[in-house]
Structures are given as C-alpha cells and as structure tokens.
Amino acid sequence: MPDKIHILSREIADLIAAGEVVERPYSVVKELVENSIDAKATSIIIEIAQGGVKSIRVTDNGTGMSRNDAMLSFVKHATSKISSKDDLFSISSLGFRGEALASISAVSRFEILTKTKDSAAASKIILKTGAAPVAEDAAAPDGTSVTVKDLFYNTPARLKFLKSEQTETGLIVSLIERLALSRPDISFQLFINGRENIFTSGNGKLSDVIYSLFGKEFSDMMLEVDYDDGVSIKGYTGKPLYSRPNRNHQVFFVNGRLVRSRLLQMTLEAAYKNSMLISRYPACVLFIGVNPSQIDINIHPSKQEIKFSDETAIKTAMSGALNATLRNDTGILQIFGSDHPEVFEDKKLSVEKVYKNDSPSYPDWEIISGKENTSDIVQVIADSSDKPSEYLPVSDIPSFSKSYADDNNSEDDRKHTLKDIYEQGKIDNKPVWKFIGEVFSAYIIIQKDEDVLFIDKHALHERINFERLKTMTPQTQTLLTPITVSFDGEEYAKILENSKTLETLGFEIEDFGPGTVIVRKIPQLLSVSDVEYLLNKFASDVCSAKSTYDEFLYDIACKASIKSGMNTSEFELKKLVEEYFEKETELKYCPHGRPVCFSMSKTTLEKQFKRII
C-alpha cells in the first residue's frame, strides 16, 4: 500500500502560509506600514492602484536595511523583533512574526529598495516566485520603499473572493486612518490611483489628526480623556449627543497597536448607558497603556485581536476614565456655535440706586441697575413672595432684596456688583436664570447669562423620574380598587417569576388564577391607566430577552412624566427648571439618550439679525 503522507513542496507550503497572513490587499498594506513604523519612520507614503490588487507601494524615511538584512527579510521566520522566547511575552513592536515579507512575496511580484544612512548606495532587491532574489545597487534616499504588484497573480482562486475595488480601497483607507491616529508624530500620505486621499502633518497632536481625517464636526464633538492609575487611558471620546449608527468610529489602541476587543467595546458602551439613543453607538479614539506582559496579541494571525490577563483591572480603569470625562460634558447642544465676547469684561459695575414703584406696569417690582452701561444689564426682582419672579428662586437672591431701598442699610451692604454675580454665574450656589415661557406646549425657554436655553420638558421630567427610581426607595400607592391584568401563558409565568423585581419598583402583585394577576400597589408617580400597558410590556420583553432592569425603569419614567403637548402650569415648569439647574450633571439626557437642553448665544441671535456682521 503506497504511503499517503508526503512533504509539501516549498512553493505550496509558502502559498499556504501566505494564505494565513495575506488575506487581501489590506493585509499587505498593514504589514508594510507597521514595518515602516517599527523602522522609526517619521514620514510614510502609501500608494495603491485598483484597490491594491494592481499595485501597492509603501515608502518611508526610516532606518532602512543593509543588503544582507534585506536578503534575509524574505526568509520565513526571519525577524529583527524577537531574539528569545521571553520576547514573545513582552512584545512592543508591531510587525514581529517573521512571515510578512516571505508571505507577501509568495503571492505577488515583489521589489524592495532600501538604504541605511551609513550605506554609500541603496540596495534594490527583486524577488520572483520560484527564483532566487536578485540584488543590485541603486540610488535612493535613506529609508525603505516596498513595491507589490499583481497581488494573487499566481493564486487566481483568491482573487475571486476579493470584493469590489471600492470595498478593498475603503478597507485600506480605514486602516491608514487608524494607523495615522495611532502615531500623530508620523506624517501619513495615502494616494489612491494617483490622487491624494489622506494627509496628516506628523506634528504630534492627536486632535489635529482627528480634524484632518474626520472633519470639524467630529473634532468639535470629542472630549479629551486623560487618566492614569496603573493602567493609562488617554485620547478622545465622543459627547453622547454625537452618536453613530455603527461601531466604525470606535478605535482602540493597546500599547500603540490597533486592536479589536469585545471587552473594550462593551466597557465603552456601558459608560454611555442611559445617555445615548437606543441602537446608536459612541465614537472614540482611545489609547490603553498596560504592561506588555499583561496582554496576549498572539491569539490571531492578524495580531488585531487581544487578550488581557487582568480584564477587571482594564474594565475598572476604562470605566473610571470615561465616567470622569463624561461628567465634564454639559450635555447642552449649542446652536450656531457659542463663542461670544465677554459682555462684562473690564466693567466696574456697582449698585448705585434702587428704583422702586416707578413703573406703571409693575408697581410691586424693583429694578436695580449698574452705574455704567445700565442698558446692558437690567435685572427684575420680585418684591413680594407671592408674585412670580423672572429670576428663580427669589428667596435665594439676598443681595438684591427690597431691603436695599432702606436708607438704614450701610454703604458696605450695597457694594455687591453685577459683574461679580455674572462672573460667578450663581448666587449662594444657585444659578441665576430667567423664565421666558414655553412654546408648542413642549419646550421651556430660559435666559441664563448670555444664552437662551431651550429645555424639552418631557425629556427633563423623564430623566428626573428615572434618577429617582434608580436611587430612592419607591414611594407606593395602595389602590382602593385593585386591578387585574391578564397575560398569555409564557408571559404570565414570567410576570410571577419576576414579582420580587417588580416589588422593588413599587408594584405589589399576586397570582389571581390562570393567566391573571391582581395588582394592589403601584409606584406613586404612575397613574392607574398605565399599569396594564407597563406590566404587559415588561412580561413581553422578558420573554423575548429584550428587557433589562433599566429599560423597565425607562418605561415607568416615561409614563409618569409630563408629555409634550400637555398643558403645564408655569409653577410646574419653573420647578422643573429649578431642579435641572440643581442637578445639571445628572440631567443632561433623557433615559433614551435624547438631549434635555440646547442653547443659543446672544451673539448668534445678533448675527442673525445683522446687529453683528
């Protein structure tokens, strides 16, 4: 019986190895550019034609190679990055497997031109499949240029699995964007079919790279992250208002290497929970710095997937960094920009005189004006506690009470300045704001400092209720007439299984026979008419594995909140606004991620009316 086992020829073995490393033109570009980065290049130029299939050229100004090193670079498992087995557990370079050039040259027409600063001439090496490499002298600047032509020319089956030229090009563009983000200190240029597509300056500023690649809108919506507590987390993460339809703009680097990590992805998105629209995703460019011995980058041949030895430490550090950063976000969308001159700059305002009862329209109100530029600042203060105040809360503005009209007060008592008040933005830690009104029975209008704020009353009330449900022992109401709610078979079982969960939210339910429960207590902020809908939705979501505890809180908070289009008293609206300013850091978004407030500056309005050109 003939032997069945035989040794593959070197040519076939090389093609198999190439198949593991070189999946598509993207793979070639990645390996070559990472080698340029490892060679300490400060400028890398990438040129591709026909999606990289016709040609790929990567040129750098790095350290270059001697002729001997260049010849060895084609040999399988030859590398300058590893010398002992211990190095495998502390890898800091990008390309290191010793297979890249050997694999690429096995499926293409390959040429390398390289020169070190100490060499008199460059070395040009041409490699053809099945033939020994040919080396010759050439003229070239310091650095290395690798040209790959006719990719997969000798493996036509592989060509059939490639996508369209546009798709293959798009993958390469995305790769270069991410590599440029990883190294702001390197200038990257990408040419597609002869036309420049990407350029970064290499000035070392990540913010400039983000601006160059993604534009002003993306750049303006980023928040800087700077955290270091054993694990370093730096970079930028998007404001919750800037959500994306997919995860394409979530970019993670670990020790400078572009990686994919489910852990990092899930930790990022958890930080935006309750602040971002459902089915939308945050954007980020984050750099995680960790001891190289604590990560494994050998779990996939592409070296893009990564495993952490201490996932808890990574998750804790990243959560802390993101939560601290997002707390600094105002959550207020600024319309047409917010830059405006400081109105009070260099104005020495003092309270000179209180005018009382000199207005035929408002006989019970006091007007207090500054000594200089009195037309710029006029503040109206209620004289009586039972009168509505344009600035709330009246009781918290002692500096401008009617007592200033009393001649018995000392001169020192009258030295509070409007400049001080407005520079501080608060009086006794209460924001100074003016209630203007409501439009469309939905949006509250507030004047605060030099901005007009528009507040969505439903979104704000919904968030307030959600925070109360999360943090407070639920206030319940016992129903004088208990109600019954019916369910389908599986939902009936699920509602009974989760009765303890419902109890923590203020519901008291009991089994009332097949398919029915009786409800004796409900959360105080709910109306009876909402109970059947909420319990049925909760049971349905549990059965379909869609429900989470927070999502049920969303539903309760939504049902319990003031609705758009609903008539709301001015007193209620002002109380909502008062709570908003007391807890701005918590009340930036509704639980579903919609913004609570946006602002328009006085300067923006004046530009619209051509008062400022």
pLDDT in tens, 74-122: 776 555 554 444 544 444 455 433 467 888 888 999 999 999 999 999 9
The helix or strand, by DSSP H or E, that contains position 596, with its residue range, turns out to be none
| Selection from 583, 450, 575, 461 nearest residue 525 by Cα | 461
Residue range(s) of every CATH 3.30.1540.20 domain in the chain? 330-457+564-613
What fold is seen in the domain 476-524+526-559?
Ribosomal Protein S8; Chain: A, domain 1 (3.30.1370)
Q: Is pLDDT of 352 > 60?
A: no
Residue range(s) of every CATH 3.30.1370.100 domain in the chain? 476-524+526-559
Question: What pLDDT, on a 0 to 100 scale, did the predictor assign at position 347?
Answer: 31
pLDDT band at residue 544 under the 50/70/90 scheme = low
Question: What pLDDT, on a 0 to 100 scale, did the predictor assign at position 146?
Answer: 95
Question: What pLDDT, on a 0 to 100 scale, did the predictor assign at position 11?
Answer: 54
Return the residue matching tokens 């507040």.
455
Token pair in block for residue 561: 């909140």
DSSP reduced 3-state for 296 = strand
Residues sharing a CB contact under 8 Å with residue 590, sequence separation 6 or more, in sequence order: 456, 458, 459, 460, 462, 463, 466, 596
pLDDT in tens, 10-46: 555 554 445 456 889 999 999 999 999 999 999 999 9
What fold is seen in the domain 330-457+564-613?
formyl-coa transferase, domain 3 (3.30.1540)
Residue range(s) of every CATH 3.30.230.10 domain in the chain? 221-329
What DSSP assignment string belongs to 402-469? GGGG-TTS-SGGG---HHHHHHH-EETTEE-EEEEEEETTTEEEEEETTEEEEEEHHHHHHHHHHHHH
Identity (one letter) of the amino acid at 126? I
pTM above 0.75, yes or no: no
| Selection from 251, 193, 248, 189 nearest residue 33 by Cα | 189
Of 299-308, 549-558, 570-579, where does mean pLDDT reach its minimum?
Answer: 299-308
Residue range(s) of every CATH 3.30.565.10 domain in the chain? 10-199
Q: Is pLDDT of 328 > 60?
A: yes
| Average of per-residue pLDDT across 275-293 | 88
CATH code, 10-199: 3.30.565.10
Q: Is pLDDT of 510 > 80?
A: yes
Q: How far is CA 405 from CA 358, 373, 393, 401, in A?
A: 13, 21, 20, 8
pLDDT in tens, 175-208: 999 999 999 999 999 999 999 999 999 999 999 9
Mean pLDDT of the chain, nearest integer: 77
- Please give the torsion angle defined by the CA atoms of residues 458, 604, 336 and 323, in that order, rounded to the nearest 10 degrees: -60
Q: Which of these CATH numbers, 3.55.40.20, 3.40.50.1360, 2.40.30.10, 3.30.230.10, describes 221-329?
A: 3.30.230.10
pLDDT in tens, 519-528: 999 988 788 8
